[in-house]
Chain A
Amino acid sequence: MTTIKSREKCVPDTAERLDLPDVGEWKRVSPRYVVVETVGTIVFGLVLAAAAAALWLIVDVPWALYVIGAIVLITGATVAFEPRRVRAIGYQLRRDDLLFRRGIMFTRFVSVPYGRMQLVDITRGPIARWLGLADLKFVTAAASSGVLIPGLAEADAETLRDRLVELAESRRAGL
C-alpha cells in the first residue's frame, strides 16, 4: 500500500491529468499484483504470437513476420508500464460511498454508495492464489458499475468484504 510518488512522464502530458481534489489517501493494491498482470500479458502475447507464427510457417504468409514483431513490441511496452498501472489502482472507503480509481492512460474514477451493494465477490486466479492475492468485485444493480479491486492480500480482501457488507447493511436502500 504505497502512494504514487510523482507523475512520471510516460504519457505525453500536455494537460493536467484528471485527479480528484482534496480526497483522503488512496489505499493501493499489493505490489505483487504486478506479477499477475505481467504473466497474464505475456501469456496473451505468446498466444497471439503463436497464431501469427503458425500463419507464417504453415500458411506461408510473409507479412505475418511483421505482425509477430509488432506483438512482441506491444507486449514489451505493456509489461514495462505494468508497475505504474498497478500503482494507479486505488480505492478508499469514504463515509457513505466507495471510491475507486484506476488507469494512467485511460483514467477512471467511480463512486458507489454503499447502500447500492447487491453482492461482493472474491475470486482468485491460479497465479494470484500462488501469491496469496485475491480480487474483490463490488456488484451493483448496474452492470456497468464495474468496480473490481484486484490484487488485494487475501486477508485484506476478506476484511474489506466484511466491512463493505456491514456498511451496506447499515445504509440499506431500495433498488
Chain B
Amino acid sequence: MTTLADGEWHRLHPASPLLRGGIFIVAVLGFIIANLRERLVDIFFGVPRYSGDPIEAIFERGAVGWALLAVAGVLLVILAVFYLSWRMHTFRVTGEVVEVRSGMLFRSNRRARLDRIQGVNIVRPFIPRLIGAAKLEVSVAGQDANVQLAYLGSTLADQLRRDILRLASGLRQQAVSGPEARIASVGMFPEAAASEGAFPGASAPDGAFPAAIPAASGRGVVADRARDFFAPALDPDAAPPESVVRIPLGRLIGSVVFSGFTVFVVLAGIALIVSVTAGGSDWLLVAFIPTLIASVSFYFTRVTKSLRYSIAGTPDGVRVGFGLLTTSNETLPPGRIHAIGVSQPLLWRPFGWWQVRINTAGHSSTQGAAGEANTTTLPVGTLADVARVLELILPGFDSAEQQTLIERGLRSKGGDDGFTNAPRRAAWLHPFSWRRIGYTVSDGIALLRRGVISRELVLVPLARLQSVAISQGPVTRMLRLASARLHTVAGPVSAELGVVDAAEVLVFFGRISSGAISSAQADTSHHWNQPSQDQPSQDQPSQDQPNVNQPNGVIE
C-alpha cells in the first residue's frame, strides 16, 4: 500500500507546473498564432498570403540558425524553470500537520494543523483529469488559508485524503508505517525517471501506479484514464451505497428552470413583447438576443455543474461530489458544519423540492455545485432526500421524535407542534409567516423555523455556536416582541428569528447560551475517531510516529 502520509517530504505530479502554468502557455501559443496566422491559413486552407511574416523576415536575413538557437534557449529556460519549480515544491503529512514548501526565489512554507481541518476537497479540472491528475485542497478556517496540493496523481490524491483524514481523526496508530512504504512511492521522486523501466508497468493495479506522465507508458494507461474518467464519482467500496442520494436529470433541469432567474427572464420577455407591439422599437429585440443566449448558457452550466451529484457518509465524514467534466469531491469531517439551512423557494413547492445549504468555517476556493460557493450540500431533493442528507450531516439526530420535528419544521403551517411560536401580535410585522416563526432545541441542536411563502428551517448545532444575541427596537417593544439571532461563521445560512415573544426570548437566551456551553464541553469532534481516553494524548503524539528523525523534520 503506497502512501504519501508517512511524514517524509514528497513531490507533486511532474506535470504540475505545466498544468498550473496553463494560462501562460495559452498566451504564448496565442502570440505565436497571431504572428503567423497567414502562414497557418496558407498551410491548412491553401489560401495564398500576400504580406510577409516573421519567419519570412528570418529567411531573408539568413538568421535561421540564430532563430533556432533562440527558440531552443527559450524552451530550455522554460523547461528548467518548470523542473526547478517542481523540485522546490514539496509537501509532507505528519501525524500533526500538513506542510507545503514552494517557490524558487520567494520561498513559502505553509503548515496546517490536522485537528483544525475543516474539509478536504479533491478537484479534477477537465484537462488535468485527462492525464490523471487531481488537485487536493485541505481547507482550514480563515480567509485564503487553504493548503493546496496541485497536482497529484488521481489515485494518490484519493489515498492521501483517506490518510490525512485518518490521521486527523485521532486513529494515528494506523498511519502507514516505515520505510517500505517509501520505496513503493518512489515514483514521486526524480530518481524515478531513471528507474522507470523497473516499474511493474502499466498493467499494475491503479493504486500502485505512480504519478508519472501517462504518455510514457502506452495503451494501458489510456485505458486506465478512460476508466478513471467514466468511473462513478464515488468509489462504491468506500461508502455504504444505500446512503447515497441521487438527483434525476429531470429534477435537476426542473430545479434550474423553476428558479428566480427564470421569473426574471420571463418578465423581461413579456416587457419586451409589450414594448415592441405597442411602441414598435425593434432595436430592443436586437438587444435582447444576446441576453437570451447568455441565459441559455447560464442554464447549461448550472445543469452540467450539478450533474452526477452524489453524497455519502464515510467513517471520516460526509462526502459530496458533483460535476460532469470538471469534478469535485469534498469530504467534511464530523463537527465541521456550523449551520444547516433547508429551504424551499415558492416555485419549487408544487414539486415538493428542497435545498440544503451549510455554513462551514473553511471555504474551498473552487466553486461548488450549480456554480455556487461550496456550500450547497443538496442542490435539489425531495423530503426523503433531505431526511437522508440531514441524517448524514447531523449523525445521531435521527430519533423518531427528532424526525417529526424536522418534518414539522419544514412543512407545518404552525400551531402547537413542538416549536415555540411567535404570538398573534407578531402578525403586525410578519402578516403571513408569524404562525410559522418559532424555535425549539433538541439534543444540542437549535431548530429555527420561518417563512411561509419561501419556507425555511435552520438547524444550528449548539456545540459550534459562536454567540447568541437578542435585541429589541422601539417597534418590537411596543408589540412586546423581540428578535433573536444565533451567530455562526459566515455563510449562506443566517440563523435569525425576526419576532419572538418578549418574555419567551429571555427563556430562549438562557436555553441557548447554557446549551452552547454544555454542548461545547461535551464535544470531541476535532478528533472524531479518537477512543474516548480524554485529549491529553494529543500533546505528545510524536512518540508513536514513525517519522521522528526525518531529514528536515521539525516537530513542534
What is the CA–CA distance of A171 and B513 in the complex, to the nearest angstrom? 15
Chain B positions within 8 Å of A141 at CB level: 141, 361, 466, 489
Given contacts A14-B478, A141-B489, contact A109 B516 (CB under 8 A): no
Chain B positions within 8 Å of A110 at CB level: 467-469
The residue of chain B having its C-beta at the shortest distance from the C-beta of A11 within the complex is B474
Instruction: Kindly identify, within residues 107 to 146 of chain A, every residue whose CB is under 8 Å from any CB belonging to chain B.
Output: 107-113, 115-116, 140-146
**A145 contacts B473, C-beta separation under 8 Å:** no
A113 interface neighbour in B141, B335, B361, B467, Cβ under 8 Å: B467
A175 interface neighbour in B116, B490, B516, B521, Cβ under 8 Å: B116
Chain A positions within 8 Å of B502 at CB level: 15-16, 18
Instruction: Kindly identify, within residues 453 to 479 of chain B, every residue whose CB is under 8 Å from any CB belonging to chain A.
Output: 463-474, 477-479
Given contacts A112-B466, A174-B335, contact A144 B487 (CB under 8 A): yes
Instruction: Kindly identify, within residues 161 to 175 of chain A, every residue whose CB is under 8 Å from any CB belonging to chain B.
Output: 171, 173-175
Chain A positions within 8 Å of B480 at CB level: 15-16
The residue of chain B having its C-beta at the shortest distance from the C-beta of A95 within the complex is B517
**A18 contacts B505, C-beta separation under 8 Å:** yes
Chain B positions within 8 Å of A140 at CB level: 466-467, 487
Given contacts A16-B480, A174-B525, contact A111 B487 (CB under 8 A): no
A78-120 interface bits toward B, Cβ cutoff 8 Å, 1 = contact, 0 = none: 0000000000000000001100000101111111110110000
B523 at interface by CB-CB < 8 Å: yes
What is the CA–CA distance of A141 and B336 in the complex, to the nearest angstrom? 13
B517 interface neighbour in A11, A107, A113, Cβ under 8 Å: A113
B472 interface neighbour in A18, A112, A116, Cβ under 8 Å: A18
**A108 contacts B517, C-beta separation under 8 Å:** no
Chain A positions within 8 Å of B490 at CB level: 142-143
**A111 contacts B513, C-beta separation under 8 Å:** yes
The residue of chain B having its C-beta at the shortest distance from the C-beta of A20 within the complex is B506
The residue of chain A having its C-beta at the shortest distance from the C-beta of B115 within the complex is A174
A147 at interface by CB-CB < 8 Å: yes
The residue of chain A having its C-beta at the shortest distance from the C-beta of B463 within the complex is A173
**B471 contacts A142, C-beta separation under 8 Å:** no
B340 at interface by CB-CB < 8 Å: no
What is the CA–CA distance of A108 and B477 in the complex, to the nearest angstrom? 12
**B487 contacts A145, C-beta separation under 8 Å:** yes
What is the CA–CA distance of A66 and B469 in the complex, to the nearest angstrom? 39
A145 interface neighbour in B466, B470, B505, Cβ under 8 Å: B466
B474-500 interface bits toward A, Cβ cutoff 8 Å, 1 = contact, 0 = none: 100111101001011110000000000
What is the CA–CA distance of A147 and B523 in the complex, to the nearest angstrom? 24
B509 at interface by CB-CB < 8 Å: yes
A111 interface neighbour in B464, B474, B477, B509, Cβ under 8 Å: B509
**A112 contacts B467, C-beta separation under 8 Å:** yes
A21 at interface by CB-CB < 8 Å: yes
B111 at interface by CB-CB < 8 Å: no
A27 at interface by CB-CB < 8 Å: no
**A144 contacts B485, C-beta separation under 8 Å:** yes
Closest 7 CB pairs of A and B: A142-B466, A142-B487, A111-B513, A174-B526, A112-B467, A108-B471, A140-B466
Return 7 A-B CB contacts under 8 Å, by A number: A15-B502, A16-B480, A109-B469, A113-B516, A142-B488, A171-B521, A175-B118
